[in-house]
Chains A and B, each alone.
Chain A
Amino acid sequence: MLEARLEQANLLKKVVDAIKDLVQDCNFDCNDSGIALQAMDNSHVALVSMMLKSESFSPFRCDRNIALGINLTSLTKVLRCAQNEDILTLKAEDAPDVVNLVFESAESDRLSEYDIKLMDIDQEHLGIPETEYGAVIKMPSAEFQRICRDLIALSESVSIECSKEGVKFACQGDIGSGSVTLRSHTNVDKPELNVEIDLTEPVALTFSLKYLVNFCKASGLSGQVKLCLSNEVPLLVEYALSNNSYLRFYLAPKIGDEE
């Protein structure tokens, strides 16, 4: 059986919020190392990969590998019933029909309990190799979100060019063009505002902004976001969580018809 206690329901709420706009149903694969999730959007051009390590829970118990097929819309509905600071406990049998969520309020003695019916979901699982990326950019997640939101006003796609000068997000649309350039930048007082660019080769790729904006919904999870790019390879957008947990998004680049 599975029993995972999360000190703050907030974490799961944000993770699910970030994913639910990308995928509809997905399997939460639970094993003794934690809870993992991998799912693609309907067009199969974007992939979300989540790993919540067992260390993020206290306690975490999972006797067998269990796949919890959950409709994320339903999960969101239930998670809305939890306050951010509630203690969340996930429970499931070994061959579960339902997943049980218990919200405990630390302040009051309120205890709410919900069951969500599970689904059988046939999902293909992709093996994602460890990749040496040509460019790794770390920046404040709010900054990345702002760039994406600003540029989507102009165009549907953005070209990300990494060179010695810095990283340039540029787009060209019907009303005109725009670009944002970031350079490496260290803020001693507020390290979360640092911009680090680690470049081994120049990279230039184009991506769909709609998807990037969607990824940015995870900004609340982490102060910093890591963008990893290599030519002809999907972009990796990673939001690091505590205890080596992470939420990663992959997005296929636009190849061919440059706009």
Chain B
Amino acid sequence: MARTRSKPAIKDPVPASTSAATAALPPSALDPPKLFILPTGASPAARIVTLPNPVTASPTRYFFCPKTGFYEFTKIAAPKKVSRSWLLAPHKAAEDRLHKITNSPEEVSQQGAGNSDKHDSAENIIDTPLISKGYITKSADLFVATPLDLMFLILPALSPISSVSKESQKQLFLSLDDYLDALSASSPHLKQLLLNSKLQDKISRRMAAICDIVDAGDEKMYRLSQRKLLAALLSKAERMAKEGLPTSMEEKFVRSVLEIPIMSVRREESELGSAPQTGPIPVGEGEEATEDKSQSATQSFGTATPVTTTGDSQSPITSSSTVSSLVTPTLPEVALSKPPSTAPEGILHLLRIRTILTFIFSSYIPPHLHKQLQALLQDTKSPDFAPLDAHLSHIASMHSQVQALRSLSDNISRKRGFEGDDEAAEARAEKKRMKEEEEKRKKNESKAVKQLKKVDTTGMKKLSAFFVKVGSKK
């Protein structure tokens, strides 16, 4: 997820650049307008602010609304190869209130009536010829503001890097004001924002969720508790997993990881063939049971997925659980010996949780905390990742088995498969011919000639150094 790198913070980027936009065939604007989708109902005091990124500590832009809190920007862009642009067309409703317009019509159309607040706030900018007459932006980037937990922003202040470097030493309990001082020192923008007492309240509430607290007289003292932090993260992960992962993440980190190598197809056939003779009843029952389970799991996933997610995001879930339910009958002996390794619904869920945690860690948690949190995560029993690890190692071993099998038995057929490339085949044939010729030459070589090749000719110049070439006689 690309973080935004938009131009210097202005409350709303559109009005600032409108003048450049309408000149007749001007040189393309140096600082073209950018499209934002801002949250509905943001208060007029909402600002785009520059704060240090919790992970990299580099200045990053966030959207801050005193009422609803912080939002981060997510850049949605077409791949570089695909040339796309935004055509900002005048919106009818927007034209009607031309004097009021501050947002691009695109935004108006996407957000509907939600941003009336902003219109008011920007009402004083009337003189500019408006972008709503139509405008094309070169890059088809869209910045979407998505809510961001305040907790992540205050994490760097709660656990400065220095606190981790001195390992054994316990971090001190500090008052809220101390933390606020640290925060405002990190960014001038934040300093301004912290003057708002509402935000201070919010911060103290979020801190309470992830900190150990002691009362010192009338003041509360806070210290970051990694256990609490992890619990908070886990609950976030649980919530996200329940909603279902975005399709691309599901595909890449969950489905492909759990994919069982093709080998199982052949094994399935052999199993079916041999089943009647070996008294298949217990195995068969086990199969059905697991299949039922996974089916119900699929269903529950299906119902759990909220309406907002598209049909796309459901399909991988369904197919992945069908994949794993297909797997169960193919490996009955494994299933009997290691029942947890084929419990797909639990595994799926665990893997999702782990994927989400990895994502959260890499996007929001300061790197120096990773090690300790990972260690804590290992110890924790509430989501026990042991079955997942077992299952993953099982899949890995199957992969290596298949690899070994392929290199043994599939060798020939795979070679044939490669030969589809005509050019390569030709080159190979040529090479073979050359090699054969060379071999033939070698066979024809007399023994003495071969021995002469071994003679040490160091210090002997080639005869062409003495005699002049006169061109090869035909």
Summarize B's interface: helix, strand, loop or mixed. loop
Q: Which residues of B contact A46 (CB under 8 A)?
A: 463
**If A22-B452, A125-B472, A253-B460 touch, does A234 touch B466 (CB 8 Å cutoff)?**
yes
**How many B residues touch A, CB cutoff 8 Å?**
29
Chain B 435-472 against A: per-residue CB contact (8 Å), 1 yes, 0 no?
A: 00000010011101101110111111111111111111
Do A127 and B463 have beta carbons less than 8 Å apart?
Answer: no
Q: Separation in Å of the B366 CB from the closest CB of chain A? A: 66
How far apart sit A43 and B463, CA to CA, in the bound complex (Å)? 9
Q: Separation in Å of the B445 CB from the closest CB of chain A? A: 6
Answer whether residue A6 sits at the interface, using C-beta atoms and an 8 A cutoff. no
Answer whether residue A254 sits at the interface, using C-beta atoms and an 8 A cutoff. yes
Summarize A's interface: helix, strand, loop or mixed. loop
Answer whether residue A82 sits at the interface, using C-beta atoms and an 8 A cutoff. no
Answer whether residue A107 sits at the interface, using C-beta atoms and an 8 A cutoff. no
Answer whether residue B415 sits at the interface, using C-beta atoms and an 8 A cutoff. no
Q: Which of B446, B459, B464 has the most CB of A within 10 A?
A: B459
Answer whether residue A110 sits at the interface, using C-beta atoms and an 8 A cutoff. no
Do B468 and A156 have beta carbons less than 8 Å apart?
Answer: no
Do A156 and B456 have beta carbons less than 8 Å apart?
Answer: yes
Do B461 and A67 have beta carbons less than 8 Å apart?
Answer: no
Do A233 and B472 have beta carbons less than 8 Å apart?
Answer: no
Number of A-B residue pairs having CB atoms within 8 Å of each other in the complex = 113
Do A126 and B469 have beta carbons less than 8 Å apart?
Answer: yes
Answer whether residue A105 sits at the interface, using C-beta atoms and an 8 A cutoff. no
Answer whether residue B474 sits at the interface, using C-beta atoms and an 8 A cutoff. yes
CB-based nearest B residue for A256: B459
How far apart sit A256 and B453, CA to CA, in the bound complex (Å)? 21
Q: Which residues of A contact B471 (CB under 8 A)?
A: 124-125
CB contact between B445 and one of A24, A214, A255 (< 8 Å): that residue: A24
How far apart sit A74 and B444, CA to CA, in the bound complex (Å)? 8
Q: Which residues of A contact B460 (CB under 8 A)?
A: 43, 45, 208, 252-255
How far apart sit A123 and B464, CA to CA, in the bound complex (Å)? 12
CB contact between A43 and one of B441, B445, B455, B467 (< 8 Å): that residue: B455
Query: Given A27-B473, A74-B444, A252-B460, 7 other A-B contacts at CB below 8 A?
Result: A20-B446, A24-B444, A24-B446, A67-B474, A76-B446, A156-B455, A250-B467
Q: List 14 A-B contacts (CB under 8 A).
A: A20-B449, A21-B448, A22-B452, A24-B444, A42-B452, A45-B463, A73-B446, A76-B446, A125-B470, A125-B472, A234-B463, A250-B463, A252-B462, A252-B463
